[in-house]
Each structure stands twice: as C-alpha cells, then as structure tokens.
Chains A and B, each alone.
Chain A
C-alpha cells in the first residue's frame, strides 16, 4: 500500500516529534517526485510559520547586486544582455503590467501576495501614510492602497487604489513617474504634485491641486489620455467619455481630511451613498417624501453618530440606527 502523508504529518516530523517508523514512511514517500515537491512545499510553509529569526531581505538583494557589480563584465558576458539599467525598456513595462495583473488576480482570489504591502483604513477612519519614496498619501474611510514591496528597490512608483485618497507626490531627482491605477482601468501618471482620487463603485474622480497630471482611461476598446491642469476635476465612469470640470476648488475635495462635510441642496439619496462608503451603513427612508428631501450644511463629524446627529439637527430630521441600518424620518412624525 502506498503511504499517504498529510501536511500535519510532515509538520509533526519537522517539529521533531516523528517516530523512527514514521520517518521511514516519509523516506519512502518522498521517492515519488510529486511527493518530494509536496515535502518542500510543506517545509517552506513550516519555515514561514516558525522563522528562526527575521531576515533582512532588502539587504540580501543589495548584497546580490553588489556582488554582480564586483564580479563585473566577465560574469556579464555569459548572460545575454538584460534590460539596460537606467532606461526603462518594454520588458520593464511588461513586468509592470504583469505586476498589476498579478495584483488584480490575487485580489480576485481574495488573498494577498507576499509581493505587496497594503495600507488601509476602516469605516470612518482617515489616516496619512508615508510611502517608501517619501510621498504622503492620506486615505479616506474604507479605502485601500496597495504598493509593491520591491517598489523601493526597482523604483517603479506604482500604486493601486480603491476608495478615496489625497496624494502628495514627491518629485524625484531622476524625474521618475508616479502612477496610480484603479480597478476600472484608470491610470493617473504624475511626476510630483498634489491631487485627489476618488474611486468607488466603478466610478473615478480625480481633482488636481497643483502640478500636472496625465490621466488615461478606457472608452470601449480605445484608450483616451487627458492632460489635467490645476483646478480640473475629471469624472470617469465605465465606457463613457470622461466629464471634465474646470475651476473647481481643490480644497473642497479634501474636506474629509478634517472630517468636514459640506452639503448644499444634496439629496438624501446621495447622503446614503456617503454613509455607505464612509461608515458601512445602509440608509432607508420612512416614506417617499423623506427620500426626496435635500439637505444642506457644513459640519465636522468624527464618526457615524456625529454625522447623523448633525445631518438631522441641521435639516429637521430624525433618524434611528439599528445595527448597520439607519432609517430617516421627518421630525414631526
């Protein structure tokens, strides 16, 4: 009979708890190449779960590069010319594209790859992060920014955003580009500037405060590119021409940084969108009249309760929250 050996069995063995008979079983089992492969897979997993110490991986990569430089041209000749060191080749772009693809596919399977670091915010939370190049990103509630872990090494400044964020991108001496991508194929390329990106429900809005930004997006099968100037706001929705609005006040798009909200004749319907995006709350209305109401006002709210209190107080409404559901109704009811 062929022995069947599970991951747990190997783990017991690696922790030194296998008997001599069990060891013999393993020796027999690994003779089959596919089992041997499984053995090393379990071994790798074991080492990840029980590390002896934390290894400085970037340091390892730096040493490797140094070694390559030192061994110099002799070693280089053996190797067919790799991509030139400074100029970014087509290959590098393909790599970049595959990195995004990998990222998208790993997001698809609902798990992270070791190749990425994720920055994220919870409902109602606003938080600034410093990226490896010194750029500052402020994430609004319920947002997530993914950055390749080897970003700092390869110098490809690329990030993937879902949610809403303000970017203060640092200009580099070499003039390296900084690219923001979203899940609906919008790509924002900059050198160093301040801008805000909103990307929720397959809708993207970009507002530029300072500097210059290039935005590409897909309309059907064609790729459109728009150059933005300060004060421009561009809204992109799937398969529709982008809407450009000039002369907006950029400060208004980042009111959320101070947890400030401003509404001017905004429908309660839109408010329910905000509630959902920021606080994971779902709004319902007592009747159609209430749904049709509009609200106005400017206030600061640190959390969902303060937000609801302010909205109701300013507009003569009442609301009741139970779990994640909020019901709005008129005060005199």
Chain B
C-alpha cells in the first residue's frame, strides 16, 4: 500500500438497506450549506454544488445519452444556467430535485432527437435538439433509457464493444480499428448497424408517441 495515498472515505459505497433515512450518503445538511454559500459567494457555492451533485448527475445523464462527453456537457450546461440566471435564488424545493429534473428533461430530449434523425456518424448538433413534450409520467423516463439499455444488451458481443468504445468513450473510429486490427470501414459498419438495431428496437415502442406529437405540432 502506498502510504502517500489517502484513505478515501468510501461512505458512498456503504448502504444501509431497509432504512428510509439516508445515513449512507451525504445528508440534506450539505444542501443547506450549499444554499447559504451560493447566496453569499456564488462562485464558491457552485464549486460545492459540483462536488455534491456533478458525479451522480453525470452518471444519470449518461444513461440517456450513452456518451460521457455529452452527459458532462449537458450537466455543465445546466449548472451554467443555474449560475448565470441565478436560479438558485428562485428554487423553493430542493436543488437536487431541480437538477435531476433538468437532467432528465435534457436527456430525454437528446435521446428523442437522436431517434428522429438519420443514422449519420457525423452528428454534432446536439445542443439544437428540439424541445419534445415531456412525458406526463415520471416512469416513462426510466422506461426510455431502460429500453435503450436492453437494446444494447442484445447486440452481438463485438459489435457491442465497438459501439460502446465509440459512443460512450468517444474513441475515434481509426483508433478502434487499430486496436482491433480491423479496417476503419468494418468499424464504421459495425457502429452503423449497432445504431440501427438500437433505433429499431426503441422506435418500435416509442414511435406512436413520436408521431402523435408531430400531428399535434403541425
């Protein structure tokens, strides 16, 4: 063991099943403290907010977008608005509820937009995703990303691995090809097929709803 490395307090990993209070993870005391700091010194308060919520929000967002970079961009964007528009002054319920709701809305929009558009590999229009009507039921958010997860699970092994390297880690096609000793063309095809499969799977369940929105809008 390296004595120069601190013993991290791994309270995050401890759980106390069966109890409804949250002794296993940071209490609401932190939120009161963050709120006070934000009002007194917004920049410092934002740092506390990052320390407190950035990790769980990113790891939640990634379920919708499957790309760590996009997930982090979405969360940072929410934090930025939170700060510049001084939303922290206006929130009456918890910051946590606000932030998670915002992440879920954005994640939902992103995913719906992704299902709509064509399966191009070059797709960097992520922030102009249109606003979809948000579902009425909270459980639809889980259903949507859990469907995507199921679809990924069904992919053949190598295709899944290639897809995740490309989508989640953001690894360039060329690098994946080099590591696997395959041509870039093969990698591109694999990614394309993976996307198509996921899309078909998810669309089969969500398309009627999608169509309905279009009719209502136009």
A residues in contact (CB < 8 Å) with B: 6-8, 13-14, 16, 18, 23-24, 26-27, 30, 33, 36-37, 39-41, 43-45, 47-49, 51-55, 57, 60-61, 63-64, 67-68, 71, 75, 78-79, 82-83, 91-92, 94-95, 98, 102, 105-106, 111-120, 127-130, 147, 149-150, 153-154
Contacts and interface: CB of A to CB of B under 8 A. Distances in A.
A53 B59 contact: yes
A57 B4 CA distance: 21
A60 B24 CA distance: 25
A153 B93 contact: no
Contacts of A7: 19-20
B29 to A, nearest CB: 7
The CB with the most chain A CB atoms within 10 A, among B30, B53, B75, B84, is that of B84
Contacts of A130: 4
B105 to A, nearest CB: 13
What is the predominant secondary structure among interface residues of chain A facing chain B? helix
Interface string B2-26: 0110111101110101111011111
B33 A48 contact: no
A40 B3 contact: no
Contact of B138 (A8, A26, A79): A26
B3 A60 contact: no
3 A-B pairs with least C-beta separation: A47-B56, A23-B139, A112-B9
B177 interface: no
Interface residues of B, number: 68
Nearest to A90: B40
B36 A98 contact: yes
Contacts of B29: 102, 105-106, 113
B48 A48 contact: no
Given A7-B20, A40-B97, A95 B6 contact: no
B62 A52 contact: yes
A47 B20 contact: no
Interface string B38-70: 001111101110111111111110110000100
Nearest to A102: B33
Contacts of B13: 49
Contacts of A111: 11, 23
Contacts of A128: 3-4
B119 interface: no
A150 B72 contact: no
A76 to B, nearest CB: 10
Contact of A120 (B7, B30, B43): B7
Given A64-B79, A114-B30, A53 B138 contact: no
B30 A113 contact: yes
A124 B8 CA distance: 21
A115 B76 contact: no
Nearest to A80: B42
B189 interface: no
B206 interface: no
B64 to A, nearest CB: 11
29 contacts: A8-B18, A16-B149, A23-B139, A23-B143, A27-B139, A36-B138, A41-B22, A43-B60, A44-B53, A47-B57, A48-B12, A48-B25, A49-B15, A52-B62, A55-B59, A60-B72, A61-B51, A63-B76, A75-B84, A91-B41, A92-B44, A105-B29, A112-B9, A113-B26, A116-B9, A117-B9, A119-B6, A119-B7, A128-B3
